[in-house]
Amino acid sequence: MCIRDSINAEYGEPQHSSNMGCGGSKNPSTFRGSGYHKNVCCSRRTVKQGECCAVWDGDGDYTLTEGPARLCITNSTVTFLDRFVADQGEYLKIRYRDGRKEHLRGPCAQFEDPMEHTSIEVLPAISLDAFETVVVYREIGRSNDGAKVPTQPLLIDQVIVDGPKSQRATPVTIAASESVEKRLVRGPTVFIPAANEWLHEFCWHGNDPVDKGRLIKGGLNFTKLKTVPAQLYYNVSDVRTQDDAMLRIKLMIFYHIESIQRMLDSTSDPIGDFSNAVCADVIRFVSEHSFESFLQQTNALNELDNYQVQIMTELIMTRAGHDTS
């Protein structure tokens, strides 16, 4: 063992690369990572600049050395650490062995220390256009006596499309409960959540990929809420007239969001709410006419006055921040 380690004193035998692509190698220009792991009897190791080496001696003591350095090692276990790098559009999500979490905004780099870190991930930042908004929840800390501890606002890069450079702005808290506060982050911006923050996930009715005129529960799942006017196709099937004619009514519904805050307080699925109301109104309208009479009154379906259930729903949606047509 000693002779073998003496021969491979500098860079060791070839190892399979880790997920980071920095395993051990005889090539001195290659950075070693967690794929390099050896039990050393008596030898020396060169830790190049850009590398970090962890050594456990025979007594179990732990030493961390960041290059450039030259180490004399006896009766120890040697491994190298993986290095994670995040650029300007990314951040590092670090989990500590004591349960803490930390988000580091790029550009930055961090070695994954097995004594401190459970895992390190490189995650992309959230890019928002001018018509997009995300709903962010933040856990509010408390002191030992139960008093609310003020939280420092997270600075966000406001990306100005026509401007010469970026600006920084502080988001505004919209509402708060005893333990969690809610705020809106509007685009254009590049947003990175803090370690104690998470995004609201919307789950709405959406068009069936197979049948575009059919709405299915959970068809829309997203975190970026678009505030521009939108439309959807909706077919009301198996509608009977007075003379028992079976019809299928094809509709196009236009809508836009006026107040995100009121919408969140009033409904979890606005598409499902007003599609159900429209379906009830169409069935009622058709059932009051014969087939020939319905053909003559088709244009009446474009008038909101014929949507009594929808009008009541629209009053609720107006409070909820929606406008439908």
DSSP 181: E
For residue 173, the one-letter residue type is: T
Distance, in Å, from the CA atom of 256 to the CA atom of 264, rounded to the nearest integer, reads: 14
Give 4's pLDDT tier (boundaries 50, 70, 90). very low
Residue 255 backbone phi and psi in degrees, to 5? -155, 160
DSSP bridge partners of 80: 53
**All residues at 6 or more sequence positions from 60 whose CB lies less than 8 Å from its CB, including other chains:** none
Which helix (H) or strand (E) segment holds residue 316: the answer is: helix 308-320
Q: Which of 29-43, 59-73, 192-206 has the lowest mean pLDDT?
A: 29-43
- The span from the CA of 290 to the CA of 17, in Å, is 75
| pLDDT-wise least confident of 27-31, 118-122, 294-298 | 27-31
**pTM score, whole prediction:** 0.67
Neighbours of 150 (CB within 10 A): 8
Q: What is the mean pLDDT of residues 13-19?
A: 38
Cα 248 from Cα 269, distance rounded (Å)? 24
Q: How does residue 9 score in pLDDT terms, banded at 50, 70 and 90?
A: very low
Q: Which one of 58-62, 131-135, 232-236 scores highest in mean pLDDT?
A: 131-135
d(CA 71, CA 216): 64
Rounded CA gap, 157 and 107, in Å? 14
281's CB contacts (< 8 A; 6+ apart) are 306, 307, 308, 309, 310
Report pLDDT for 96.
95
DSSP 148: B
Q: How confident is the model over 275-314, as pLDDT tens digits?
A: 888 888 888 888 888 999 888 888 888 877 777 665 555 5
Q: How far apart are CA 243 and CA 249, in angstroms?
A: 17
Lowest mean pLDDT across 8-17, 23-32, 40-49, 87-96: 8-17
HEC string of 165-190 equals: CCEEECCCEEEECCCEEEEEEECCEE
